[in-house]
Amino acid sequence: MQISFAPPASVEAGALVLGVFADGVLSNAAAAVDRRAKGALSRALKAAPKFKGGRDETLALYGVAGADQIVLFGLGKPEDVDAVRLQRAGGAVAALLNQAAVAAATAQFEGIVLPGHGAGAAAAEFAFGVRLRAWRFERYRTKEKAEAKPSLKTLTVQTSDAAAAKKAFARADAVAQGVFLTRELVSEPPNVLNPESFAAKAKELSDLGVEVEILGEKQMRKLGMGALLGVGQGSAFESQLVVLQWKGAGGKRKDEAPIAFVGKGVTFDTGGISLKPGQGMWDMKWDMGGAGVVTGLFKALALRKAKVNAVGVLGLVENMPSGDAQRPGDIVTSMSGQTIEVWNTDAEGRLVLADALWYTQDRFKPKAMVNLATLTGAVIIALGTDHAGLFSNDDVLADKLAAAGKAVEEKLWRLPLGDAYDKQIDSDIADMKNITGSRDAGSIIGGQFLQRFVNKVPWAHLDIAGTTWSGKDTPTVPKGATAFGVRLLDRFVTDNYEG
C-alpha cells in the first residue's frame, strides 16, 4: 500500500476519512465538510448513536455530504490525544476500509494535533497505525478469493505541514519494517524456519550495514557452550549463534560500549524428551519470538540510521526428541563454567540464554543487556496477554524499559527476583538445576536462573510468552504474530542511548 502526504485540498474520488472528538465534536476538516454540506454530516452523526467519537470508534457513511463514502474515526477528548491513540485510529480505519473494499482514501487532518509537536506529527502517527494494521502474512495462500484480499492500495493524508509529516513517517516506517520482519519470522512454519534458515535470514541485514557473524556448533563447542548445544543435539539442524552489530554512534561516541539485546530462538519446541502435549503444539513455531524481535529491532535501527552502538545475539536451536536428544537428568557445563542439572528438557530456553547471555557480556562488555524470550507459560497465568513480564537486577534500567513500553502500548509488569527464589534452583549434584520441580513462581524461577549468567551487568529479562502471538485483531496488530518488543526497544534506544 502506498501512503503519501499532501497539503489540504478538495477530494474528488475515493473515501474521505475525517476525525471526530468525544461527544461528536467535529475536527476542523470534518466541520468544513459539514458546512459545505449544510449540516448533513452532523445529522448523520445524530442518526448513529453508537458512534460518540471515542477512542477506536469508526463509522462508515454512504451518500452523505456529496461523497460516495465518508469514514469517521474517533479520538476521544482532544487533551487525551497522543501518538498511540492516533496509531490506533489509523489501524481501525485501515481495517474498516479493507472490509469495505475501498481501494483509495484521503484522510484530512486539519484541527487534529499531537500536543507538543508540529502540524505534521499527528498525520504521521495516524499513517503509522495504518501501515502497522495493513500488514498481512500471505506467503502460503494460493486460493484466496479476490474479495477476501485487502483492497486498500493508496492513502493520502492531507496536512498543513506535509513535509514534516513525510519526514516523521519515514522514521516510523523504518520501525514498521522491523516489526514486519519479526512478524514474518514468527509466522513462518517450522518446516521452513529452522536454526540454519533463520541465521541465513538474519545475514541479509548485512545489506543494511549491520555486521553479522554466524557461529556454528564447532565454534560454540570450542567456546564451551554446553547448555545451548545440549538443547539442540536432538535436531537434524545444526544450532547457530548469530551476532549482530550496529555501530551507529559517531564522533566522540564512536567507541562507546554498546547496548546489548539477546533473543531466545527455539525455532520449534516439542519439549524434547519431556514431550509437550500434542494439543496446541503447533503454536511452538513461535518459540523463537525473542530472537525474532531482536532481528526486527536491528532492521529498524539500521533503516533509520540510529545513532547508537548496539549488539544483538540470537541463540537458535530446535528442541526435538530423538536418540541423540538431551535427557532429563543430564548435566551440562555452560560457557560460564557453571554446571546445570537438566530436570526438564522443556525448560530449554533458559539453557540457550545461559550461554548467549554469558557470551554477550564476556565479549562485548555492554553498558546494559536486555534479553527477550517466550520463556514460561507461567507468565501467561500471572499476567495474561496484556503485559509481558519484566525482571531486572537494576531499578533504573527496569524503569526505562517500563516507560518505553508504556509510550508505545507494549506494556511490562515487573516481577521480583531474590535470594529465596535463587536457593530453589540449587542442585544436589551440580551448581544448579533448570527447574525446581514445583509449579510455584515459575516465571520468577526462570528469571532467577538467567540472572546467574549476567555477571552483574545491568540486565533485564522480558518474558514475552503471553504477548508474542495474538488470537484476535487489535487496532494496530492483525491476528497472529505481534512483534511485541520491537517498538518498545526502539523507543527505549531512542529515549536513552541516542543522545
| Closest residue by Cα to residue 268 from 183, 380, 377, 193 | 193
Active-site annotation holds for 141 = no
Three-class SS of residue 12? coil
Q: Are 388 and 483 in contact (CB under 8 A)?
A: no
Is beta strand 67-74 parallel, antiparallel or unpaired with respect to 259-269? unpaired
Choice among 350, 400, 433, 452 that is catalytic: 350
Report d(CA 448, CA 94) in Å as an integer: 42
The DSSP string of 384-395 is TTTEEEEEES-H
Report d(CA 461, CA 261) in Å as an integer: 10
Q: Are 379 and 467 in contact (CB under 8 A)?
A: no
Active-site annotation holds for 472 = no
| Residue labelled with grid coordinates 536486555 | 370
Q: Quick count: other Cβ atoms within 10 Å of Cβ 478?
A: 20
Choice among 276, 307, 411, 414 that is catalytic: 276
> What is the set of active-site residues?
276, 350
